[in-house]
């Protein structure tokens, strides 16, 4: 796990050592253990090292293949590198380190860029072919590790984080209005643009090639999810047994490290089962839980603190357990830092992630995360009610798009944006963006209820899940901590896609309606629903405390609905209603004032929108206003 950066000047002008060092310095938090630079005339590669595998100088980057043909910088971890190493050794390749980086660079020497598809793990890679003078950028199949690029006027910049571009004279910060529209629709990006104009995220499972003749970067996908080929003959018992086997193997694979490994531990089945399995591989596992001061919290949010259930599992496995207790004041302290590190705004209330990763980083360098289980095994049953009985593709799209306009619906955009900003984009574009996610995969069908569910799983794992990965990466690496995701194991993912819907969800006919923006007890069903992930629950039932197996579903979130009305109301007003608010250049101040008033006076629950408005204000202050944090 590291930070990577690079410059490729297609005009032939030389890259200086100082240019790369400036990029490295901007992402030094990602790699506090060392720095490396490689220059080849008009190409420069930079690396900041967080030493996890082979912590000796032999594992340092940039790394060159033995035949001198390839030089790479790599961020991530490859879990099948031992098997690949044996395969390469059988072909005559020699190794001097025990790192996965050396396996990648020798694999490129043996197979070329097609080797990326053989990797089981998370990665963002910049690979320079010294003979053909071509640069390859590649990203893992699930999109766990970020990789951004900027390409204008014959200059390519790439890096793990956008802040690496900020001091390059070829780059200037401008707001991307199309991305702004997309963000305030989905609280996410379903395309690969960012709020920074001309800065893009390389899509997951993509490898691109850039040479001196490149005029535009064309994405080339080499893998995609496929929930359309379910094995309808699979029995529930077979699904349970194979899920247990593959998941156990996945956790074991992701324990590989030459440094201490820990695990996040909420009160749920995903992180709990990971922690139980991980504890079998170390003498005493470190576990970490985030809880909340509930003294000023009312309604359904009074149940958001998960420490008691986490402590039950920690005691069960006898882990060395640590807890981070947050209060309302932590929002104000952390938000500027969070936005600086996140930079590419995504999903919901994430400042608890900032705190829990900071805690974990004091004890370990690697921490296992439970993200991915819901998207693979159907963990959000309340989302599926609206599309379960859709009549056809058009009806399905209508119902599901209505739900995924999480922040502001298209018809309200005129009120949200100032007139001159609203005129900059096509208000219908988010709908087209939404539909293109599905149209990317021609195998999707829209005839049966089970197909509607599988299409929803496909959509969420392609859009919502990468947003969670991005938040996890940025906020953990802010503290020099590597997060790993055992659910995102190649073999486990391939199998989970084949498991029939009936084994994941058993209560489809009785779906209850839920609006995630409801307030108070009206949102109670959110934590009462005990359907979903049925096969995973059964697979883990032999190793987990039954109290956790039977626990109602709950997301990881701070009690912000209450805090925005109480202890954080003054800060929210100070930030958003200030006449000097930079975001008011783009967001209508009258709209913001109405949203704040409606929330504080309990007429509506705008917790998601308020979070996005506060994040965007800080984004404007930091990246447009150059405010120091």
Residue by residue, DSSP assigns 533-563 as: -HHHHHHHTTTS-HHHHTPPP------HHHH
Beta strand spans in 60-110 (E): 63-64, 70-78
- Residue 190 to residue 436: CA distance in whole angstroms: 9
- Contact status, residue 79 vs residue 140, Cβ threshold 8 Å: no
- Residue 284 to residue 281: CA distance in whole angstroms: 9
Scanning 379-418, the segments in alpha helix (DSSP H) are: 381-384, 393-404, 413-416
Q: Which structure tokens are listed for 499? A: 């498991």
Nearest to 161 by CA among 335, 27, 47: 27
Q: Which structure tokens are listed for 485? A: 């995701």
Q: Which structure tokens are listed for 310? A: 């986490």
Element (H, E) at 290: strand 286-292
CA–CA distances in Å: residue 416 to residues 20, 348, 422, 583: 40, 19, 9, 12
What is the number of residues in the chain?
Answer: 629
**Hey, is 287 helix, strand or coil?**
strand
Element (H, E) at 376: helix 373-377
- Contact status, residue 360 vs residue 262, Cβ threshold 8 Å: yes
Provide the sign of the torsion angle of the four alpha carbons 52, 57, 59, 63, taken in this order. Answer: positive
- Residue 498 to residue 489: CA distance in whole angstroms: 15
Of these residues, 2, 77, 290, 367, which one is catalytic? 2
**2 given a catalytic annotation:** yes
- Residue 104 to residue 108: CA distance in whole angstroms: 6
If 0-12 CB within 10 Å is exposed, 13-18 middle and 19+ buried, where does residue 622 land? buried
Provide the sign of the torsion angle of the four alpha carbons 377, 380, 382, 387, taken in this order. Answer: negative
Cα 553 to the center of its chain, rounded Å = 21
Provide the 10 A C-beta neighbour count for residue 58: 14
- Contact status, residue 363 vs residue 262, Cβ threshold 8 Å: yes
The upper half-sphere exposure of residue 602, i.e. CA atoms within 13 Å in the direction of its Cβ, equals 10
Provide the 10 A C-beta neighbour count for residue 550: 12
If 0-12 CB within 10 Å is exposed, 13-18 middle and 19+ buried, where does residue 51 land? buried
Q: How many helices (H) and strands (E) does the chain have?
A: 26, 16
Element (H, E) at 44: strand 43-49
Cα 603 to the center of its chain, rounded Å = 33
- Contact status, residue 143 vs residue 224, Cβ threshold 8 Å: no
- Residue 123 to residue 104: CA distance in whole angstroms: 10
Judging by DSSP bridges, how do beta strands 134-139 and 206-210 pair with one another?
A: antiparallel
Residue whose token pair is 């991530």: 76
- Residue 513 to residue 383: CA distance in whole angstroms: 8
Q: Catalytic residue numbers?
A: 2
């Amino acid at each position: 796990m590291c930070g990577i950066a690079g410059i490729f000047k297609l005009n032939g002008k030389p890259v200086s050592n100082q240019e790369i060092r400036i990029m490295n310095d901007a992402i030094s938090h990602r790699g506090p253990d060392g720095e490396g630079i490689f220059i080849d005339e008009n190409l420069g590669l930079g690396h900041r090292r967080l030493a996890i595998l082979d912590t000796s100088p032999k594992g340092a980057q940039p790394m060159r293949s033995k035949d001198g043909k390839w030089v790479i910088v790599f961020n991530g971890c490859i879990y099948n590198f031992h098997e690949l190493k044996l395969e390469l050794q059988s072909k005559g390749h020699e190794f001097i380190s025990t790192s996965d980086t050396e396996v990648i660079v020798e694999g490129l020497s043996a197979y070329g860029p097609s080797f990326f598809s053989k990797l089981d793990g998370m990665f963002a890679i910049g690979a320079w072919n010294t003979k053909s003078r071509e640069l390859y950028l590649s990203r893992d199949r699930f999109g766990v590790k970020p990789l951004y690029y900027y390409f204008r006027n014959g200059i390519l910049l790439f890096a793990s984080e956008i802040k690496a571009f900020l001091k390059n004279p070829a780059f200037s910060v401008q707001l991307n209005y199309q991305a702004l529209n997309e963000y305030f629709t989905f609280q996410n990006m379903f395309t690969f643009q960012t709020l920074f104009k001309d800065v893009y995220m390389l899509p997951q499972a993509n490898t691109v090639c850039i040479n001196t003749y490149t005029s535009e970067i064309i994405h080339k996908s080499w893998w995609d999810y496929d929930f359309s080929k379910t094995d309808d003959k699979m029995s529930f018992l077979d699904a349970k047994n194979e899920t247990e086997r593959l998941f156990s193997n996945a956790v074991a694979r992701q324990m590989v490290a030459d440094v201490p490994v820990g695990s996040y531990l909420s009160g749920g089945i995903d992180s709990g089962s990971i922690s139980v399995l991980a504890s079998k591989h170390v003498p005493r596992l470190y576990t970490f839980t985030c809880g909340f001061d509930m003294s000023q919290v009312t309604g359904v949010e009074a149940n958001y603190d998960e420490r008691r259930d986490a402590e039950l599992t920690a005691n069960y496995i006898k882990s060395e357990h640590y807890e981070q207790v947050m209060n309302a004041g932590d929002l104000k302290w952390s938000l500027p830092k969070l936005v600086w590190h996140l930079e590419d705004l995504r999903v919901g209330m994430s400042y608890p992630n900032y705190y829990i990763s900071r805690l974990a980083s004091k004890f370990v360098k690697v921490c296992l995360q439970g993200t991915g289980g819901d998207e693979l095994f159907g963990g959000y049953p309340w989302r599926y009610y609206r599309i379960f009985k859709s009549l056809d593709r058009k009806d399905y799209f209508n119902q599901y798009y209505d739900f995924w306009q999480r922040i502001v619906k298209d018809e309200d955009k005129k009120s949200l944006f100032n007139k001159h900003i609203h005129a900059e984009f096509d208000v219908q574009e988010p709908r087209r963006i939404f539909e293109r996610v599905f149209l990317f995969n021609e195998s999707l069908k829209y005839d049966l209820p089970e197909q509607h569910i599988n299409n929803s799983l496909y959509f969420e794992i392609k859009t919502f899940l990468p947003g969670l990965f991005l938040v996890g990466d940025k906020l953990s690496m802010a503290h020099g901590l590597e997060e790993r995701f055992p659910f995102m194991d190649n073999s486990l993912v391939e199998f989970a896609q084949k498991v029939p819907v009936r084994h994941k969800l058993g209560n489809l006919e009785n779906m209850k309606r839920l609006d995630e923006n409801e307030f108070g007890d009206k949102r109670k069903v959110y934590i009462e629903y005990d359907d979903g992930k049925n096969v995973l629950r059964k697979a883990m039932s032999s190793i987990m405390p039954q109290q956790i197996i039977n626990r109602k579903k709950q997301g990881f979130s701070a009690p912000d609905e209450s805090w925005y009305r109480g202890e954080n109301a003054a800060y929210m007003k100070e930030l958003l209603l200030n006449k000097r608010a930079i975001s008011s250049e783009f967001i209508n101040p009258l709209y913001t004032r109405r949203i704040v008033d409606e929330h504080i006076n309990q007429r509506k629950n705008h917790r998601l929108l308020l979070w996005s408005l506060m994040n965007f204000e800080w984004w404007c202050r930091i990246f447009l206003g150059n405010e120091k944090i």
